[in-house]
Chain A
Amino acid sequence: MAISFEQIEQHLKTEALKLLESGKVILVLAYGRGYDANHPMPYVAKHPSDVDNIVFNEYCTANLARYLTRYPRRTKIAIAVKAADSRAVVQLIQEDKVCREDLVVLGIPVYGMKNFKTGEVIDSKTTGGLYNPVLYDILLGEEVHGQPVSSPYDVLAAYEAMDKEERWAFWQRELGRCIRCYACRKACPMCYCDPCFIDQNKPKWGEKSPESPGNLMYHLTRFHHLAGRCIDCGECSRACPVDIPLYLFHKKVAKDCEEMFGQAAGMSIGDKPVLVNFRVDDSDKILE
């Protein structure tokens, strides 16, 4: 069953118009046209007339959940989400950064999304096998069934097979390219801390220069801060101007958290994030 991006765009526009006209929401987080058709931008529709500018195509990879924390509580927002993005919304609700009642979630069941920088299909790099949003009020298309279901962690096999020296060399090479532009942090829906740890001076957690010690401190700490919270959208890696595959490390931490604590991020509103929770019978084996 092929995905019709035009149909999804149509449904999105229809629902957005209804919601804005009825006053049920004061803004709709969706996508709009960028400098050409293959480079869409996140778009905020506030008036019914804005709805005409909404688009949806295979390059609409931006995770709109990152904009939710910009708006004050009690702002009524409609948000267009794909599978991974819906997990981000669930995770933000779990962390009490946004109220379920303030949101109208427009779920987009889709596969075949492409990286607008390279044209590459990104399904296997993100939530692998999860094509339908886990949370939605209105579904903007038919649920996707019959697409290959794989584990989101399959792509890690090659890296887990490396011995520690190879892995160290790999990460030194990758993280050594980092220019500390902080796009990864800003692209991530879960990075909403103000101030971010790396911007603090007392104490200074990491050096500012884009060199190995500061880069390592920044990235490893960020991987830790996202443990059990990363919802595998891959935005950090796509935002990176020097192509660092951050999603690999985040995925590995997510995999370990799922194995150790039996819970994946952003799946169910009633969950508590794994690191603010505990079980008295957590096994000591996890420390071995």
Chain B
Amino acid sequence: MSFEPKILGIACNWCTYTGADLAGTTRLQYPQNIRVVRVMCSSRINPSFIFRAFQLGADGVLIGGCHPGDCHYNTGNLYARRRLAVTKKILEFSGMEPGRFRVEWISASEGNRFAEVVREFTEQIRDLGPQTKFKISQ
């Protein structure tokens, strides 16, 4: 039985989540390993969510937001870009595998791209294997 990754996806309401909806309505296939949480803007994301997700057993975390410049709230994703870049550096320096955390800018019309990114990311996590470093052992 091959390993089925548990992936947490956090998608901003206006772009990525809508894009994911589009992928759904156009019947695009993508792996069901991703569990999507909707936030109003990518800048709502507290880096502690990501650390906590890994502690609670997520094998991968994928963040999706509007393209910089297109944020529904004008500047949210510009802050998020900086903040999540720091989160990525911290995860790397602590020794977490770099491929487990990814940020993508996916707009509402990019249903295709959403499906593609999820497919790619799921495969990447499958190759990396279960995440054991942060995960709280039972």
- Direct touching of A and B (C-beta under 8 Å): yes
| A278 in complex: contacting residue of B79, B90, B93, CB < 8 Å | B79
Contact call B95/A205, Cβ cutoff below 8 A: no
Contact call A167/B95, Cβ cutoff below 8 A: yes
Contact call A216/B55, Cβ cutoff below 8 A: yes
Q: Which of A84-92, A127-135, A253-261 contacts B (4 or more CB under 8 A)?
A: A253-261
Contact call B78/A171, Cβ cutoff below 8 A: no
Chain A nearest Cβ from B125, distance in angstroms: 16
Given contacts A217-B55, A287-B103, whether A168 and B133 have CB atoms under 8 Å apart is yes
Contact call A164/B86, Cβ cutoff below 8 A: no
Contact call A257/B86, Cβ cutoff below 8 A: yes
Contact call B55/A213, Cβ cutoff below 8 A: yes
* A residues less than 8 Å from B52 (CB atoms): 205, 217
A residues 197-238 touching B (CB-CB < 8 Å): 197, 205, 213, 216-217, 220-221, 223-224, 227-228
**Dominant secondary structure of chain A at its interface with chain B:** helix
Given contacts A213-B55, A221-B47, A261-B82, whether A164 and B87 have CB atoms under 8 Å apart is no
Q: How far is the CA of A220 from the CA of B81 in the complex (A)?
A: 19
Judged by a CB distance under 8 angstroms, whether B14 is at the interface is: no
Q: How far is the CA of A276 from the CA of B76 in the complex (A)?
A: 11
Q: How far is the CA of A257 from the CA of B88 in the complex (A)?
A: 12
Q: How far is the CA of A168 from the CA of B75 in the complex (A)?
A: 35
Q: How many residues of A contact B (CB 8 A)?
A: 38
Contact call B81/A216, Cβ cutoff below 8 A: no
Chain B nearest Cβ from A229, distance in angstroms: 11
* A residues less than 8 Å from B90 (CB atoms): 220, 223-224, 227, 249, 253
Closest to A175 in B: B94
| B75 in complex: contacting residue of A213, A221, A278, A287, CB < 8 Å | A278
Judged by a CB distance under 8 angstroms, whether B69 is at the interface is: yes
Q: How far is the CA of A33 from the CA of B2 in the complex (A)?
A: 66
Q: How far is the CA of A280 from the CA of B58 in the complex (A)?
A: 32
Contact call A165/B95, Cβ cutoff below 8 A: yes
10 closest residue pairs by CB, A with B: A168-B95, A278-B78, A286-B85, A167-B95, A256-B89, A227-B86, A164-B95, A213-B136, A287-B103, A224-B47
A sample of 10 cross-chain residue pairs with beta-carbon separation below 8 angstroms, ordered by A number, consists of A159-B93, A168-B96, A217-B51, A220-B90, A224-B48, A227-B86, A228-B86, A253-B86, A253-B93, A287-B88
